């Protein structure tokens, strides 16, 4: 039987990424993701909502990207695979496990606030002198 381990999710970061480095110097970033689902209950005609919290780990260039661009509340899209971590607690010796997404592709779905502020301060439709660039002036007219 063939297996497929592929996860594609989108949601909002629940905290800023925590970045650590391996012995070889590879960055590893971890953060939480809140995924909201909203639906209308047929029997009661009321809107319902549930939130699923997922732990995300990205490595290498994706970790550097997360460190630079992801903050709490940032909407992100993650593609990757499921990874099950298992360990024994030091104090009690109890077996623990956690299912997380090992992200292989991370995309920010909106601009960071800092970039939006700079963009908003720039003119939205700058005037282009028609004598210097007539083709651009014509395109701007439409």
Residue 126 belongs to a domain: no
Taking residues 78-105, report their average pLDDT: 94
Q: How many domains does the chain have?
A: 1
Spatial distance between the Cα atoms of 32 and 97, rounded to a whole number of angstroms = 16
Share of the chain above pLDDT 90, in %: 70
Residue 79 belongs to a domain: yes
Residue 16 belongs to a domain: yes
Taking residues 36-44, report their average pLDDT: 91
Spatial distance between the Cα atoms of 130 and 30, rounded to a whole number of angstroms = 51
Helix (H) or strand (E) holding 27: strand 27-40
* Closest alpha carbon to 11 in 77, 58, 82, 96: 77
Residue 32 belongs to a domain: yes
pTM of the entire predicted model: 0.72
Whichever domain contains 66, its CATH number is 2.40.50.140
Residue 127 belongs to a domain: no
Grade residue 1 by pLDDT with cuts at 50, 70 and 90: confident
Residue 2 belongs to a domain: no
Residue 97's alpha-carbon distances to 38, 92, 100, 102, in angstroms, are: 29, 14, 10, 15
Domain housing 78: 7-110
């Amino acid at each position: 039987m063939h297996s497929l381990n592929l996860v594609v999710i989108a949601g909002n970061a629940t905290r800023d990424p925590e970045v650590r480095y391996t012995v070889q110097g590879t960055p590893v970033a971890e953060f939480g993701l809140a995924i909201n689902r909203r639906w209308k209950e047929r029997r009661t005609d009321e809107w319902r909502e549930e939130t699923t919290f997922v732990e995300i780990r990205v490595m290498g260039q994706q970790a550097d990207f997360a460190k630079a661009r992801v903050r709490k509340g940032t909407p992100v899209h993650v593609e990757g695979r499921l990874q099950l971590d298992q360990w024994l607690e030091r104090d009690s010796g109890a077996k623990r496990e956690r299912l997380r997404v090992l992200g292989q592709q991370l995309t920010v779905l909106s601009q960071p606030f800092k970039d939006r502020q700079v963009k908003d301060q720039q003119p939205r439709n700058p005037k282009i002198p028609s004598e210097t660039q007539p083709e651009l002036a014509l395109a701007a007219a439409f």
